Structure 1
Amino acid sequence: MSERATPDELPAEIREAVPDWDDEYLDRVSDRLMYNYDLEKHYRAGGQRWDLYGEMRVRSQKQFFHPALSYADHEAEEYLFARRESTPTVAGLEHLVDLGHELADEHVVADEEHFGTDFTFVLAADELPDDIREFVDGFRDRTLLKFGYHGHYEVNLVVVVPEKETHVASEAADVAEAFTLWDDVTTPEEGFLSRFARRFWQ
């Protein structure tokens, strides 16, 4: 694994813009997310409270000899919502999926430059019941916009039990790595519209 930067090596204006969480677990998670996400605490969305909220935007652009002559511009975004919820339920997760679709109606600008938008919900729980694991494992909810010509949006789910070092994540929930503090993060391969120039940091 390549050598990674530490929070102290970030510019002061970036470090100062990241809130501190009283919850030690979420505070450590924010140390991994701060390189790629704009983070907030005590956020409200869909009439619900979220302990941690993050936004990430990536723009990919190809150029023809000069920056003014660009083509194949694409934008990708992720909206991340995380909170403590001691006993999640399948009905509650289904409600979060519905909330994801409501937020998509508000946030997604479906045009030729839109590549993809993710709405990811993370619950930090005390237990991981079998029905929750079964519901989330392999879950995928992807909506194509204008048959894919205007990109897509996706709803992702993660349930993590930090005290027991276990979790379950839906198929496309890459951000789950930031919440599994007991595991090393991976170094991604570079590619078209790679989500991160650098992945999560230890």
Structure 2
Amino acid sequence: MDGTDRDSPVEHEASEQTGSEETEWDESTVPPEVVENVPVWDDEYLDRVSDRLMHTYDLEKDVQVDGESFDLYGELRVESSKHLFHPSVQYANHHMREYLYADRRSSVSLADLERLVEFGHELADERVEPNDQHRATEFTFVLIVPEISEDVHSFVRGFTDRTLLRFGFHGHYEIHCCVVAPEEKRLVASKRTEIDDAFRLWERIDNKRSVFEQLRAAVFR
């Protein structure tokens, strides 16, 4: 992988709003086979988050990856193509992947976040296959904690890490960080993180674009 582009840190307005609890998703709008394949978490917060994610992500619980453990894992695959006159005549085929890792912890430090960023680059070396059809691969790490310290808030708010592959001709991969304290109704996410609405349970998302629409717009623009 070459042509690395590290975006400089930018100010990102953190969401620390309060509001009424959101009405849960109506499972009748989701195909039964999808609901059946979604795990049930003992952690009520993560279980409700999964209700928001199951529409677009393949979800797993209690996964271990290269020695790291996570309570929730999600994978999203998006294919994009154009065609002339007939679907069989296609061009500009592109694909993207997002790997989501979420974990509840008793606390989080800067060292924890830096380790996850390093882990994201290790995963990229293993999973990203640079080619003409590769548009983007996203690695998103979410930590659920009791409270968010100022140094963690500052780090996440200014964090951005995008690596161009072959100077962008083979797309890019990007690492995102998000830290949420549900009991305090506080959340901070790095620039271009599109998954934060799913974890902000104290806000409704009915009148917003879906998680999938936000992510797709960010990648295929």
The letter for the 2-side match of 1:34 is M
Partner residue in 2 for 1:24: 44
Query: Counterpart of 1:160 in structure 2: which amino acid?
Result: V
* 1:56 alignment partner in structure 2: 76
- Asked if 1:81 is matched to 2:97, the reply is no
Who is 2:183 aligned against? 163
1:46 is aligned with what amino acid? D
Distance 2:200 2:31 in 1: 26
- State the Cα distance separating 1:5 from its structure 2 match: 6.7
Single out whichever of 63-72 and 52-61 deviates more from structure 2: 63-72
Q: Where does residue 110 of structure 1 map in the other structure?
A: 130
Normalized per residue, the structure richer in strand is 1
Q: Kindly tell me: are residues 154 and 191 of structure 1, through their superposed partners in 2, closer, same or farther at Cα, counting changes over 3 Å?
A: closer
Query: Residues 110 and 27 (structure 1 numbering): CA distance in 2 closer, same or farther, change over 3 Å?
Result: same
Preserved CA contact (<8 Å) 1:158 1:176 = yes
Q: Distance in 2 between matches of 1:174 and 1:19?
A: 23
Structure 2 counterpart of 1:65, from 73, 85, 95: 85
Measure, in 2, the Cα distance between the counterparts of 1:5 and 1:26: 14
> Following TM superposition, by how much is the alpha carbon of 1:48 offset from its aligned partner in structure 2, in angstroms?
1.1
Q: Is the 8 A contact 1:61 1:72 kept in 2?
A: yes
Q: Which is bigger in relative contact order (C-alpha 8 A, separation at least 6)?
A: 2
Cα shift at 1:191: 9.4
Deviation at 1:193, TM superposition (A): 4.8
Q: CA 1:102–1:163 in 2, change beyond 3 Å: closer, same or farther?
A: same
Question: Of residues 111, 129, 145 in structure 1, which corresponds to 2:165?
Answer: 145
Q: Percent identity?
A: 50
1-structure distance, mates of 2:135, 2:75: 16
Which residue type is aligned with residue 72 of structure 2?
Answer: L
Q: Partners of 1:171 and 1:184 in 2: how far apart?
A: 21
Letter in structure 2 aligned against 1:91: A
Superimposed CA distance per residue, residues 40-60 of structure 1 (whole angstroms, 9 cap, x where no aligned partner): 001011311100000001111
* Residues 146, 89 of structure 1: alpha-carbon distance in 2 compared, 3 angstrom cutoff: same
Determine if contact 2:192/2:218 at 8 Å carries over to the other structure.
no
1:97 alignment partner, SS class: helix
Equivalent position SS for 1:75 = strand
The two structures have a TM-score, normalised by structure 2, of: 0.83
Secondary structure class of the residue paired with 1:67: coil
How far residue 10 of structure 1 moved from its aligned partner, in angstroms, is 1.4
> Hey, what's the Cα distance between the residues in 1 that align with 2:147 and 2:168?
38
Residue 9 of structure 1 and its aligned partner are, at CA, apart by 2.3
Q: Distance in 1 between matches of 2:107 and 2:191?
A: 22
Give the letter for the 1:187 counterpart: R
* 1:23 partner amino acid: D
- Is 2:83–2:89's contact at 8 Å kept on the other side of the alignment? yes
User: Would you say how many aligned residue pairs link Structure 1 and Structure 2?
Assistant: 193
Q: What residue ranges of structure 1 are gaps of 5+ in the alignment? A: 197-202
Deviation at 1:8, TM superposition (A): 2.4
Q: Could you say which residue in structure 2 is the equivalent of 1:135?
A: 155
TM-score normalized by the length of structure 1: 0.90
Q: Which runs of 5+ in 2 are unaligned?
A: 1-23
Deviation of residue 172 (structure 1)?
Answer: 1.3
